[in-house]
Chains A and B, each alone.
Chain A
Amino acid sequence: MAEKMLEVKDLRVSFEVKKGLAETLMGKKETIKAVDGVSFEIGRGEILSLVGESGSGKTTTGKAILRLAPVTGGSIKFEGEEISGKSQKELHEFRKKAQMIYQDPYQALNPRQYIIDIVGEPLDVNDLCKTTEERLERIKKALENAGLVPPEDYLYRYPYELSGGQRQRVAIAGSLIMNPEFIVADEPVSMLDASIRTGIIKLMLEQRDKMGVAYLFITHDLSLAWLISDRIAIMYLGKIMEMGTADEIINHAEHPYAKALINIMPIPGKMIDSGRDILEGETPNAAVDIKGCKFCARCPVRQAICETEEPELREISPGHLCACHFVK
Chain B
Amino acid sequence: MGKRVLKRFLSALGTSFFVIIFNFFLFRILPGDLTTVIARSNTSPEVKQRLIEASGLDKPLMTQFGIYIKQLLHGDLGSAFYMYDNSSSVLEVIVGRIPNTVILLLTAEIIAIIIGMIIGTICAHKRATPLDTGLLSGSLVLYSMPTFWFAMLLIFIFCVNLRLFPTGGIYTAGTAYHGWMLIKDYLKHMALPSLCMGFAMVGCYAVTMRSTMIGILTEDYIQTARAKGFSTRYILLKHAIPNAMLPMATIIAMNIAFILGGAIQLETLFSWKGLGQLMYLALDKRDFPMLQGCFLISTLAVILANFIMDILYGFIDPRVKE
Q: Which residues of A contact B (CB under 8 A)?
A: 63, 66, 68, 88, 91-92, 94-96, 98-100, 102, 104, 107-112, 121-122, 125-126, 158, 160, 171, 174-175, 178
Report yes or no: B224 in contact with A100, Cβ–Cβ below 8 A. yes
Q: Which residues of B contact A109 (CB under 8 A)?
A: 221
Q: Which residue of A lies closest to B316 (CB)?
A: A112
Report yes or no: B319 in contact with A158, Cβ–Cβ below 8 A. yes
Report yes or no: A68 in contact with B221, Cβ–Cβ below 8 A. no
What is the bound-complex CA distance between A137 and B219, given in angstroms? Answer: 29
Report yes or no: A92 in contact with B229, Cβ–Cβ below 8 A. yes
Q: Which residue of A lies closest to B245 (CB)?
A: A112
Q: Assess whether B188 is interfacial by the CB under 8 Å rule.
A: no
Q: Which residues of A contact B224 (CB under 8 A)?
A: 100, 102, 108, 171, 174-175
Q: Which residues of B contact A91 (CB under 8 A)?
A: 229
Q: Assess whether B318 is interfacial by the CB under 8 Å rule.
A: yes
Report yes or no: A68 in contact with B319, Cβ–Cβ below 8 A. no
Report yes or no: A111 in contact with B230, Cβ–Cβ below 8 A. no
Q: Which residue of A lies closest to B318 (CB)?
A: A158
Report yes or no: A111 in contact with B239, Cβ–Cβ below 8 A. no
Q: Which residue of A lies closest to B242 (CB)?
A: A112
Q: Which residues of B contact A88 (CB under 8 A)?
A: 231-232
Q: Which residues of B contact A96 (CB under 8 A)?
A: 229
Q: Which residue of B lies closest to A125 (CB)?
A: B230
Q: Top 9 nearest A-B pairs by Cβ distance? A: A95-B229, A108-B220, A107-B220, A100-B227, A102-B220, A110-B221, A158-B318, A122-B228, A160-B319
A34 to chain B, nearest CB (A): 16
Q: Assess whether B243 is interfacial by the CB under 8 Å rule.
A: yes
Give chain B's interface secondary structure class: helix
Q: Which residues of A contact B318 (CB under 8 A)?
A: 111-112, 158, 160
What is the bound-complex CA distance between A72 and B187, given in angstroms? Answer: 55
Report yes or no: B220 in contact with A112, Cβ–Cβ below 8 A. no
Q: Which residue of B lies closest to A171 (CB)?
A: B224
**15 contacting pairs across A/B (C-beta < 8 A):** A68-B226, A68-B227, A88-B232, A91-B229, A107-B220, A112-B242, A112-B243, A112-B317, A112-B318, A121-B230, A122-B230, A160-B318, A160-B319, A175-B227, A175-B228
Q: Assess whether B177 is interfacial by the CB under 8 Å rule.
A: no
Report yes or no: A110 in contact with B239, Cβ–Cβ below 8 A. yes
Q: Assess whether B234 is interfacial by the CB under 8 Å rule.
A: yes
Number of interface residues of B (CB under 8 A): 20
Q: Which residue of A lies closest to B239 (CB)?
A: A110
Q: Which residue of B lies closest to A95 (CB)?
A: B229
Q: Which residues of A contact B223 (CB under 8 A)?
A: 63, 68, 100, 102
Q: Which residues of B contact A (CB under 8 A)?
A: 219-221, 223-232, 234, 239, 242-243, 317-319
Report yes or no: A95 in contact with B232, Cβ–Cβ below 8 A. no
Report yes or no: B219 in contact with A107, Cβ–Cβ below 8 A. yes
Q: Which residues of B contact A66 (CB under 8 A)?
A: 227
Residue in B224, B239, B318 with the greatest tally of chain A CB atoms within 10 Å? B224
What is the bound-complex CA distance between A110 and B216, given in angstroms? Answer: 10
What is the bound-complex CA distance between A197 and B232, given in angstroms? Answer: 33
The one of B226, B232, B243 in contact with A111, judged by C-beta atoms closer than 8 angstroms, is: B243
Q: Which residues of B contact A111 (CB under 8 A)?
A: 243, 317-319
Residue in A88, A111, A178 with the greatest tally of chain B CB atoms within 10 Å? A111
Contact A99-B234, Cβ < 8 Å, known A104-B220, A158-B319: no
What is the bound-complex CA distance between A66 and B225, given in angstroms? Answer: 12
Q: Which residue of A lies closest to B322 (CB)?
A: A160
What is the bound-complex CA distance between A96 and B231, given in angstroms? Answer: 13
Report yes or no: B319 in contact with A108, Cβ–Cβ below 8 A. no
Report yes or no: B228 in contact with A121, Cβ–Cβ below 8 A. yes
What is the bound-complex CA distance between A174 and B227, given in angstroms? Answer: 11
Report yes or no: A178 in contact with B220, Cβ–Cβ below 8 A. no
What is the bound-complex CA distance between A27 and B319, given in angstroms? Answer: 46
Q: Which residues of A contact B219 (CB under 8 A)?
A: 107
Residue in A63, A88, A110, A171 with the greatest tally of chain B CB atoms within 10 Å? A110
Report yes or no: A99 in contact with B228, Cβ–Cβ below 8 A. yes
Q: Which residue of B lies closest to A92 (CB)?
A: B229
What is the bound-complex CA distance between A316 and B226, given in angstroms? Answer: 39
Q: Which residues of B contact A68 (CB under 8 A)?
A: 223, 226-227
Report yes or no: B221 in contact with A107, Cβ–Cβ below 8 A. yes
Q: Which residue of B lies closest to A97 (CB)?
A: B229
B78 to chain A, nearest CB (A): 48
Q: Which residues of B contact A108 (CB under 8 A)?
A: 220-221, 224
Residue in B221, B230, B231, B317 with the greatest tally of chain A CB atoms within 10 Å? B221
What is the bound-complex CA distance between A112 and B321, given in angstroms? Answer: 12
What is the bound-complex CA distance between A108 and B220, given in angstroms? Answer: 5
Q: Which residues of A contact B228 (CB under 8 A)?
A: 95, 99, 121-122, 125, 174-175, 178
Q: Which residues of B contact A95 (CB under 8 A)?
A: 227-229
Q: Which residue of A lies closest to B216 (CB)?
A: A110
**Other contacts beyond A110-B239, A171-B224: 9, CB < 8 A:** A88-B232, A96-B229, A104-B220, A107-B220, A110-B243, A111-B318, A112-B317, A121-B230, A175-B227
